[in-house]
Structure formats: structure tokens, C-alpha cells
Amino acid sequence: MNKPRRIILASGSAIRADIMHGAGIVFDIVKPDVDEAELKKDAAKTGLDPEQTAMMLAEAKCRDVAHQQAGIVIGSDQILEFRGRLYDKPQNLAAAKARLMEMRGAPHTLINAIAVARDGEIIWRHIDRPTLFLRALTEREIDEYLAASGEEILHSVGAYQIEKFGSRLFDRIEGDHYAVLGLSLFPLLELLRREKAITF
């Protein structure tokens, strides 16, 4: 039996690693060295739309690691889009509160992009766009949520973690649960099976 290909996650995201560990995938983590802020500025200057921007970032992370490491390299990025505007991770809890106050009672979209390289060449791309509906939260509810969750939520572009206490903030979510968390698992598993990187 041939040895499965080495799988590398080009990300420092703990939740993406948790998703892959949970699915029983054996992989290494190599953090990419890319300037996301600069890439987003370039995307805005060249007029890329949100999906193109997310994919450009995923590809940049993937390529950076794939040029150094042999195997199957997975790069991913997630962008929050609300009323035509793109959002980065909040810098502090005051910014997180402002974001939740702004988005309450309305839907927003998380654009999740994945790029996969095999031995240095990108062979697969995937985009998911789950839509999330925040409840019409009161300011008191938002304050209570932030006090209970703390600065951990600053690692989330939406200032929430639906896998934890943040689930209380929503009326409903439409789309792939794993894409909301940051990695569209089912399409990725199909790709890894096709590449014989996993057995089933």
C-alpha cells in the first residue's frame, strides 16, 4: 500500500486545526509568512470583489508554504461582508462591541476560501458563503456576551465564536457549519480522498 501524501495546513488558526483533528486527518502545521493587510490593500486598489479577495489571500498562504514544503498544502482565508463592506478582525473589545451593535438584527456573510497545492502547484480552489443572522440584540446582551467571552473573540472576524457562547447571538445560520468556523470540511475531505491523502 502506498504511503498517503503528507498534508500541511498553512495556517496558525487553532479552530482550523481543531476541525481537521476532529475529522481524523493527520497533518503538519506550517504558518505562512504573508502580509495580509498589505494584500488586502492591493486587492482594494485593483478592484477585486470579496470572493476574489478571500481567494487571493488563501492562495498567497498556500503558495508561501507550498514553495517550501512538499505534499498537499491547504491555505484558507475568511472575510466578513456586511452591506457591501469588508471587515477585518476587531482590534479590541470596544471595536467588537461596535461591530455587533452595527450588525444586530441583520444578516451578514462569511466568505470562506480554500486553496490547495500539490507539490508547489495549486490544484484546487473552493468558496463557501454562509449567511448568519444576528438576533436584534440589546446593548445589555452584547455587553454581557463580551464580558463572558473576553478577548478570545478578537480572533474571530465577526467578534463571535458560534462553537461556544456566541451561539446565543444568532436567530439562524444558512450554509455550511464548518465554513462558518473557518474551513469548509466536506469539500476538502472529498479533495483529500481524490488525492489519496486520506483513505476514506
Angle at the Cα of 107 from the Cα atoms of 103 and 112, rounded to 5 degrees: 100
Report yes or no: 57 and 39 within 8 Å, Cβ to Cβ: yes
Cα separations in angstroms, 32 against 58, 77, 93: 10, 12, 27
**CB-CB neighbours of 170 under 10 Å:** 15
Whole-angstrom distance, CA of residue 126 vs CA of residue 114: 5
Whole-angstrom distance, CA of residue 171 vs CA of residue 155: 22
Quick one: three-class SS letters along 74-137? EEEEEEEEECCEEECCCCCHHHHHHHHHHHCCCEEEEEEEEEEEECCEEEEEEEECCEEEECCC
Residues catalogued as catalytic: 77
**Residues contacting residue 180 through CB under 8 Å, at least 6 positions apart:** 110, 112, 130, 132, 162, 173
